Amino acid sequence: MNTIIKKYLKNNLKSILLERENIYKGNLLLVNRQNPLQDVQLGRNALMVPSDDRFPDILLRKPVSNMLKQLLKACSAGDSIVPVSGYRSLMEQQQIFMDSIKEKGEEFTLKYVALPNHSEHQTGLAIDMAQNLKVIDFICPDFPYEGICQTFRDKASKYGFIERYQKGKEQITGISHEPWHFRYVGYPHSEIMKNNDFTLEEYTEYLKYFTYDDKHLKFENQEQSIEIFYVEASETATEILVDEYEPYQISGNNMDGFVVTIWRDIL
């Protein structure tokens, strides 16, 4: 993992040094008006592949694309729903923002289009989906709460996706309700967020109650017991110890620290 700088073994424990610069990398980045992308090359440096083989120009990070394909297959979506917008470069986001200002005005644009370097689309972790109609609005595509679109929405959290901009949460996210915009955060974070009706903003703050040296957030399914905790980044590097034989993942939050997720098999 890119957050690992140094490792050593001690009684099955592995030491990991987390450097502050890596709070700007990972699946759980909070990108909004208050927290712009700090690593502006983040998307360009990641391996991007088509989110749907029918649309080779709509790209996502490779692991995210793989999960989206599995989700679409689980929904038996066929041609009923299609991706509209995935990864965008800074230049593309700037152009979309300016075009929207010209065509639909500032008020509309600020509701539905993120400022350049404040857009999740620049991370390669976000996808806009649409019901497959003859005419699809690029900015506000139809993705209703019924039929195959709702099936996609219902199953999304099992594959690591959340509906990012929920109705009634506009004051928290800073973006108007967008039923079409889905963000990959990874499992089990997606399930926890769905079960608690959390936005990513709310979840990011909630995780700070579960620290490395204190109680951890626990989530269980039929096969695994999963522990999650937050580590505040220091000015230089932060050391944590994990069991060498337990799978783990580390993500920065794009603000002030790291989220560590550890998987344990249920015997």
Q: Cα–Cα distance between 174 and 202 in angstroms, integer?
A: 13
Inter-axis angle of helices 62-75 and 147-156, nearest 10: 130
Cα distances (angstroms) measured from residue 226 to each of 105, 206, 214: 46, 17, 16
Average pLDDT for residues 179-206, to the nearest whole number? Answer: 98
CATH architecture of 1-28+188-267: 2-Layer Sandwich (3.30)
Per-residue pLDDT tens digits for 73-132: 999 999 999 999 999 988 899 999 998 999 989 988 888 888 889 999 999 999 999 999
pLDDT, one tens digit per residue, over 42-83 is 656 678 999 888 899 999 999 999 999 999 999 999 999 999
Catalytic residue among 19, 107, 146, 178: 178
Where are the CATH 3.30.200.180 domain residues in the chain?
1-28+188-267
Q: What is the pLDDT of residue 42?
A: 63
Is 178 part of the annotated catalytic residue set? yes
**Cβ neighbours for 192, distance < 8 A, ≥ 6 positions apart:** 198, 203, 217, 219, 228
Q: Is 36 left (phi over 0), alpha (psi -120 to 50) or beta?
A: beta
Which residues in the chain are classed under CATH 3.30.1380.10? Answer: 31-184
pTM: 0.92
**In 16-137, alpha helices (H):** 42-45, 62-75, 90-112
Q: With CA atoms as reference, report the closest residue to 197 among 228, 231, 226, 172.
A: 172
Under CATH, to which class is 31-184 assigned?
alpha beta
Residue 231's SS3 state is strand
Region label for 138, one of left (φ > 0), alpha (ψ between -120 and 50) or beta (otherwise):
alpha
